[in-house]
Structure 1
């Protein structure tokens, strides 16, 4: 049996708002609440389960999404319409730009909770 990532929990201040934000950018649907979670299902079967952290401090994470090249410009357009700054680099020093790493295109942006989200059209090359 191959090991696959099934789901991950993403801490947030407002799980519904954060799930809706990401779903809108990526063109996905927010699922029905499941226990204390608000899920966003990705095309490869991985679920992002948004969870309200309450007063608990959390460290923002990094989440990278492999997206179809033909959808990339649409996603950038959604970010622009939502007035969300995107960047060519993970340190957010190149605003309003995208990158062309590994023969694809990519961009980084923050979600409402400060998680560093990334969209890429080509997986990163591994040695």
Structure 2
């Protein structure tokens, strides 16, 4: 039986704000309540289950593989919102995108400080998605 990633819990300062940030930016269905979580379902059935966590928590990294047309759409929304973005995960190439492995990628932060990434080709030469 193949193993598939199903869900993860995402720590948030305000789960509603963080979940809606993602759904609005990516054009996804609205978040839904699942127990104490506010869940966002991605196109492959994986859910990000947002939980309000009091106090500080370490920022995590979440990368989303998107097709070229979706990259253009999401990147346009990033710019329209005036978000700072980077071509690298260390924040050294501000307001640039990368072109690694023949694709495009960009990093930005969500309202809880997590480092989000959209990319059109997996790093290491994997094939990208078709629109």
* TM-score of the superposed pair, with normalisation by structure 2: 0.91
Query: Equivalent residue for 1:33?
Result: 33
In the TM superposition, 1:26-105 aligns within 5 A as 26-55=26-55, 57-105=56-104
Q: How many residues align?
A: 126
What is the root-mean-square deviation of aligned Cα atoms in Å?
1.4
How many angstroms apart in 1 are the aligned matches of 2:110 and 2:15?
11
Counterpart-to-counterpart distance in 2, 1:126 and 1:107: 17
- Structure 1: which 5+ runs fail to align? none
| Distance in 2, Cα, partners of 1:29 & 1:50 | 15
Q: Which runs of 4+ in 1 moved over 6 A?
A: none
TM-superposed deviation, 1:54:
2.0
Tell me, yes or no, if the aligned pair for 1:30 and 1:38 is still in contact at 8 Å.
no
